Structure formats: structure tokens, C-alpha cells
Amino acid sequence: MSEDNQFDLIVIGAGPGGYVAAVKAAQLGMKVACVDKNDRLGGVCLNSGCIPSKALLDSSEYYALAKESLSAHGISCKEIDLNLSTLMNRKNEIIQQLTGNVRSLLERHKVTIIRGMASMLNPKDVEVTLLKEDGHASSEKKILTAKNILLATGSKPLEINSMPFDGKTIVSAKDALSFDKIPDHLVVVGGGYIGLELGSVWCRLGSKVTVLEMLPSIAGVMDGQISRTLLRLLKKQGIGIELKTKVLKAEAEKETVLVTISKDGMEKETIRCDKLLVAVGRKPLTDGLNLDRAGLQLNASGGLDVDPFYRTAVKHIYAIGDLIPGPMLAHKASAEGRAAVENMAGLSGEVNYDAIPSIIYTFPEAASVGLTEEQVKERNIPCRKGTFPFSGTGRARCLGETEGLVKVLAHEKTGRLIGVHIIGARAADMIAEAVLAIEVGASAEDIGRVIHGHPTFSEAFQEAAMAVQG
């Protein structure tokens, strides 16, 4: 095999797990190839996930502010006009810039970027079917070999047989980021991250939005008090949210969708809408990888199990991100990518799973790190709680955003922080301090003694920490 096709590391997938790992490996002196089927690097996060959804959330928030909140500041916007194509073009330009930045970053680190579909030939060799500019397979194939292989192919939306995606009326998040007109009635299956974020976008832009969630609460992973507060605030904004409502099936009929639901396990009902967003979770993406030829078997979730070094059952094949257990979050994948590569290089790469923030970018934002109050109770951990409402901070009053609270959970004996949960404006950025506090093993007293700028939202975290001590 020619030297050109021999590497220290082949990374399959250039999402936030894969590209970060490829750069780290190059920095550690490895000869690296990174294979991705998409010409625009950055994976789902940059192309059809985190970044485009935040661009739409930010634009739609400005629109809602102009329509509803600025008058309280004495600013009147008489004729507010929304140009959906400008809004979408702005989002597309952001994707273009950021995916271009990922390519430059890899090029600067001399990572060989190969556009193609990767497939394992055996435990050592990877066959790549090169793709043409239009994304279709060419007849050209490359065979690559490496000392180590890192699988970072991410995940895909869970598709339910009784409501198959058609890309027009029954859609996944990717399509709901690019509607060419504002739906009259958008029904969302699932009150999780995607349903709440994209439901917020289209509600602010003028759609009637109904979120159908089969569980008794939205945002099931969040602390109960935060989830209940979020439910109240989203409903106040006009988002229809039906709990204990299971969607059984959906049928596209011309330009509309007929959705069959069952409420509280009772009789079936139907709802008609013009768009149905199915956001019921994601599953590991291993299509076409032929992992069996490398000697790998998928676990019950369709992903891969790894050891603490991120090695699969075949020791020189590593896996990270949405392919392995844990929350499907971009920053978790990046951390695992860096750690896996450090382990390959003989360093000790680790991820602290107790200090991974999770954030829902609704308005207000909900952000959390560590254990929820429910988990603390379930595990019988002796714990003290402190809460502080944003209405008590001067800065929140100045902005006119007083809804929400900070909740700090600390160990009863040591005072060490166990969990921090925030709902309110700027929660997504505020949680970083709590993540750092948990990472370094800080106590509630430490946080109470740290001087926080005045007036800031972050004073609410300090106050909640002080409330732990009474």
C-alpha cells in the first residue's frame, strides 16, 4: 500500500467529536486522515443541529422582542416585517462560515480530508467510496490503513414506522430548520430538546404550535422544578403543550397531516396540521460502516460499548460521541474525542461525566449540571438545597427578564456541589461557572465567597449557593 494511504489515525466522521479528535491527534504528532461523506465538515451540529437551530432561535427571539417586549422600554416598532428568506439565508451563511472554519482548521493541522463513505474491510483497513461533488458515489475507491481508527459517525433521528418522514409534511429537525414558509399549524411529537427549541422558533415566527409529549413532563432529563417552570413559561408564550399524550400514527394527506393521538391512555383522537415534526430522540449512526467485518458488534441501543479508554472490543478501534452511551451532546463528543486521542498517544485522557452541562435554548434558557433533586432523593444522598429567584437580582430587573431561578444542591456534610439547575435569561452562559465549580470540587461556601460582579445575572448563583448555608 502506498505511503499516502497509511496513517497513524483514521477518524471516521468530522462532527464535533471527530474533527476535534483529528486536530488533537495532529497536535500530538500523528499522521491523520479524516473521512466524512459531507463536503461541509462539522457534522450534524454545524450543518443541521446545534448551530442552525441557534441561529433561528436568535433571529426569532429578536422578532418576538420587537413585537412584544420593546414597548416596555419605550421603543415602539410600528411596522414589523419578517422576511423568512433573509432569516434563512443568514442561518445558511453562518453554517457556511463555520463549516469552512473546520476545514481550514484541519488543513492547517495537515489532516488529510477525504470526502467519501467509509466502510470497514477488516479490523485494519478502511475502504472509502469517494463521492462526487453532487454527493453521489463515484466509481473510485481508496483503501486506507492505520495504527488506530476512531469511529465518530454520530447519530440520526429516530424514525417511527407509523409516522415515516417524507421531508415535506412529516419531517425531522433537519427539514424543520428550512421550512420555506411559516406553517399555519406545526405539531411536534416529543417535548424534548428538539421539540421545545424548534417549537419555540416557529411559535415566535407566527405558527400555531402544539407539542405532544407522552410523559407527564417536558424536558424529562431536567430537574423537576426547572421542567415545571419551563412548561409554565412556554405555555404563557402561546406554545400548546399536551402532556401524557402519545402520538400513535401520522398520515400525510395532500398538504396536511392527520395525527392520531391517545391522551392519558384513553380513546384515540385526531389532530390535523400542515407540518408534523417528529422529535422523539436519535440513534447511533453506523449505516454502511460494515462494523462486523472489523469484528465489532452493536449493543442493544445500536451503538458501541467502549472501555474507559474509549476502545471498542477491537483494541485499536476507538469510538466516541453519539455512538457510545451517554447524553448525545456535541461538547460531550468533543471531550471524548480529545480523551480518546490522548489515550492513543499514551497520555491519560479522561472525561468527567459528572460535569457535563446540558442546555435547552428556549426562552428562557434551561441549563443544568450534575444530579437533579429527584436523582439526589432516589440515591439517598444527604443534601441541602438553596434557591434564588431572578426577580431578586438588579440586573434581571433592568433587562425586564425576572422569570426563573437558580437551584443549588450541595452535600449536607461537605457542602460540595452536587447539582446546579438554572432557568432564566442567560442560563446557558451562567451554567459554565457551575460546571467549573463541580469540576474542581467547590463547595457552596466557596461559591458564596467568590466575588461576583454587580449587577449581573451570575449573582443569582452566588445567592443560591449562600442560601444552601441558610
The binding site for ligand NAI (CB under 6 A) comprises 189-195, 197, 212-215, 220, 246-247, 279-282, 327-329, 359-361
Shortest distance, position 107 Cβ to ligand NAI, whole Å:
28
Q: Which is nearer to ligand NAI, 383 or 434 (CB)?
A: 434
Q: What angle, rounded to 10 degrees, do the helices at 427-439 and 459-468 form? A: 50
Q: What span, in angstroms and rounded, lies between the C-alpha atoms of 128 and 149? A: 13
Long-range contacts, 343-346 (Cβ 8 Å, 24+): 343/309, 343/310, 343/311, 343/318, 344/9, 344/25, 344/30, 344/148, 344/318, 345/25, 345/28, 345/29, 345/30
For residue 364, is the peptide bond before it cis, meaning its omega torsion is within 30 degrees of 0? yes
Q: What span, in angstroms and rounded, lies between the C-alpha atoms of 229 and 226? A: 5
Closest residue to ligand NAI, based on beta-carbon distance:
192
454 is catalytic: yes
CB 25 within 8 A of CB 8: yes
Q: What span, in angstroms and rounded, lies between the C-alpha atoms of 8 and 75? A: 60
Question: Which residue is listed with cell 483529528?
Answer: 22
Shortest distance, position 73 Cβ to ligand NAI, whole Å:
29
Shortest distance, position 122 Cβ to ligand NAI, whole Å:
33
Q: How far is CA 400 from the centre of its chain?
A: 28
The burial of 58, by beta-carbon neighbours within 10 Å (0-12 exposed, 13-18 middle, 19 or more buried), is given as: middle
Could you tell me whether strands 417-424 and 405-411 are parallel, antiparallel, or unpaired per DSSP bridges? Answer: antiparallel
Shortest distance, position 260 Cβ to ligand NAI, whole Å:
10
Shortest distance, position 238 Cβ to ligand NAI, whole Å:
20
Shortest distance, position 382 Cβ to ligand NAI, whole Å:
30
Q: What span, in angstroms and rounded, lies between the C-alpha atoms of 326 and 390? A: 31
Q: Which is nearer to ligand NAI, 65 or 428 (CB)?
A: 428
From residue 45, alpha-carbon distances to 40, 50, 404 in Å are: 11, 5, 28
Q: Which is nearer to ligand NAI, 218 or 447 (CB)?
A: 218
Q: Compute the half-sphere exposure of residue 66: CA atoms within 13 Å on the CB side of its CA.
A: 14
Q: Which is nearer to ligand NAI, 328 or 396 (CB)?
A: 328
Q: Which is nearer to ligand NAI, 151 or 280 (CB)?
A: 280
Q: Which is nearer to ligand NAI, 359 or 371 (CB)?
A: 359
Q: Given the residues 316, 411, 421, 454, select the one marked as catalytic.
A: 454
**Residues catalogued as catalytic:** 454
